[in-house]
Chains A and B, each alone.
Chain A
Amino acid sequence: MSEPIQHGVEHENDHGGHEHHVTPPIVYLVIFGCLLTLTGLTVGASYIEMGVFNPIVAIAIGVVKATLVVLFFMGVKYSTKLTKLTVGAGLFTFMVLIGMTLADYFTRAWGRW
């Protein structure tokens, strides 16, 4: 009766074969701090007049926050190649769908005024 996770409770590389990665709490804590800081930053940025850059800054901060959540809270950084490929391919398809749709709608009136 082999229970692979039994020994490697807190330590990585404690047992042979495929690892079940355990992210240490300090990583979660640091990411938590970063997410709260970025939330403050995005609120502050919305009060500064930056013209067209306001939405760009807001989206950029959102993307950084989402990336931190995906990589660390959701553990994609430590996951299998299959999961990484799945997430990457999914986001790529998502960007294509949104990008093509918006490119259509945003350019329909070009040259008509």
Chain B
Amino acid sequence: MADTTEANERLVCAILAEQVSTLRDRMDASTAFDLLWRTSALLSWLSGLLGDLSRHNANTTPVLERERAEAIAEVAEIRGELDKLAFFQAQRQDFARQIADCVVTALERMAVAEMPAGTSFSSGDLAALYVSDDQRKLHDAVVQRLSS
């Protein structure tokens, strides 16, 4: 009976490992990032183009010049915000992928019968897989909550 339960638990862990692994692969947002960076590069190019057009236009007026300067300033601000957003999101995605990697590794280890009978995958074993302080803080918070 105990053997059957253990086999079932291993099967569940193996299935969960595959599911989280699939989820991790679907986190890839490189197309969205690529679009953000292309937009940022395009804005930079357009900004330069506005400046060039202005320099080669003898019929410019003070109003046009002011609007050009305002447009260039706005473009620069939006470009900076886009770069910041893309960089921040890339780091968040990287962090989420690392957490998913950790869960997959833990489930895979729990799914195989490589540990001696009577032993199990401990929270300490799990902690050894962490790659960031955020994971360790979360771990400590859960351990503290469940032990109080």
Real binding pair: no
